[in-house]
Amino acid sequence: MNGMQLNTNLNRRDFLDWTKCGIGGAALASLLMQDGRVTAGSEESDADERSLHYPVKARRVIQITACGGVSQVDSFDYKPALEKLHGKPLGGDERPDVFFGKVGLLRKNDWEFKQRGQSGLWISELFPHLATKADELTIIRSMFAETSNHTPATFQESTGFRLNGFPVLGAWLSYGLGSETEDLPAYIVIPDSRGLPAGGTINWTNGFLSARHQGVVMRSKGTAINDLFPAREITQETEVASRALLAQLNEEHRRERGDDVLSARIRSYELAARMQIAVPEVTNLDGETAATQEQYGLEQEDTDEFGRSCLLARRLLERGVRFVQLFSGGAFGSPRINWDGHENMIRNHGREAKRIDKPLAALVGDLRQRGMLDDTLVVFTSEFGRTPFTQSAGDVIGDGRDHNQYGFSSWMAGAGLKHGFAYGATDEIGMKAVEDRVHWNDFHATVLRLLGIDHERLTYYHNGIQRRLTNVAGEVIQGILA
């Protein structure tokens, strides 16, 4: 072993001197501090608000990513003109660039809209539970994207770019703010058990950032994280000795090669050891009151999975996780198990909304009741919307709607926002964003601003370019800030 010897009889002073030699020793030191064998002084959090660019409104984020394209004209963007124009052709000389190329007749909204709360926000019966939280919501009705193809549109929703290989929002926040806990990752992903989003696991990639900033997948039911525990039990002495040897070997390798991937892997081993204690506790929902579990829809067939995901997200935030991303919908094969309502909007959107509506309302209400919504940002996004006309040919009024990147809706709730407020507008039929248009670059710039970050100053040098989440564009949406 190149003359290396493992001394298992170090006294405390010798041990602490040895850990100064590199990250491998530091990793072992952290493991032993967790075990109570070594103590250390306090360490300042990575998220030092004094070093941020703006006053901090939000300290943590939950993003709900609805995969497939949520119909804005059936949810958050009421268009009375569609009822009058139902069954009529789109008209005009311009032919929209839609995914399947079928521009059918205009179709009215399939769910009734009502004004909700004291704010009077228009929200449809597609989300009856969430509608009761209207006065907490900030709805952006003028989103637009650059493509109607699921995969590049989903990449742009997460990274600001239509190509893969760029860090997602959660990875950028892990890089820029770090974590408020040493026991759990800064960025956790809770996918839909029915399938992965378009593009697969790259939707929580660290891109060119260090591997430590990649999203860590956690399940809300069953085995939370694969391979977190050894396949067979080993003694504590063997565990410590094995890790000490591994630390020495890794450090030798790192000194010779300067391998960032290895350094990230060592940190992941260190974190994994702490997670063995933290994860079972945070994922155990049995300690929540019966009222809370019912509120989130646990043990109800339609809402159990997403309810568990929302409740787990709240518990993760309470323990210092910076960014939690929940996915609604995933599989893009046949049948589509997501929000991609090409054939039958009532069946498709009705099924997906029923899964998430009650849990989402419970999450917003629970965060408010606990005083957490004052420094938490909740965002709901979809890669694009759906057309106000049906996906059909001829004079038939079809049941489905095609993809629509020209205009759609997202919403936020929580810290630093105007509540019960709608921003921007689409045209009279909900096809195109025409007033205060919001690109994904603008959306991301605003999220960063609420977290105290100037989007133009959060950069990473890669391949000769100072890369940003917002590319070379993006303006903060001042009109939604409180």
Provide the total of helices (H) and of strands (E) in the chain, helices listed first.
Answer: 12, 16
3-state secondary structure of 387: strand
Q: What is the pTM of this model?
A: 0.84
Residue 42 has pLDDT above 50, yes or no: no
pLDDT in tens, 239-265: 788 878 877 887 887 787 766 666 666
At residue 116, φ and ψ (nearest 5 deg) are -120, 145
Residue 299 has pLDDT above 50, yes or no: yes
Give me the residues paired with residue 460 across strands: 467
pLDDT in tens, 70-119: 999 999 999 999 999 999 999 877 778 788 778 999 999 999 999 999 99
Model confidence at 50, in pLDDT bands (50, 70, 90)?
Answer: low
- Reference 323, options 180, 466, 219; nearest CA is 180
Q: Which residue has the higher pLDDT, 11 or 49?
A: 49
pLDDT in tens, 433-477: 999 999 999 999 999 999 999 999 999 999 999 999 999 999 999
Domain assignments of the chain as residue spans, ordered by start: 10-37+235-282, 59-224+289-480
pLDDT at 122: 98
pLDDT in tens, 312-371: 999 999 999 999 999 999 988 778 899 999 999 999 999 999 999 999 999 999 999 999
pLDDT at 14: 40
Contacts 24+ apart (CB under 8 A), 126-131: 126/74, 126/75, 126/349, 126/350, 126/353, 126/357, 127/75, 127/353, 127/357, 127/360, 128/357, 129/357, 129/358, 129/360, 129/361, 129/362, 130/357, 130/360, 130/361, 130/364
CATH topology (fold) of 59-224+289-480: Alkaline Phosphatase, subunit A (3.40.720)
Q: 23-32, 57-66, 266-275, 289-298: which has the minimum mean pLDDT? A: 23-32
pLDDT at 384: 98
At residue 422, φ and ψ (nearest 5 deg) are -115, 135
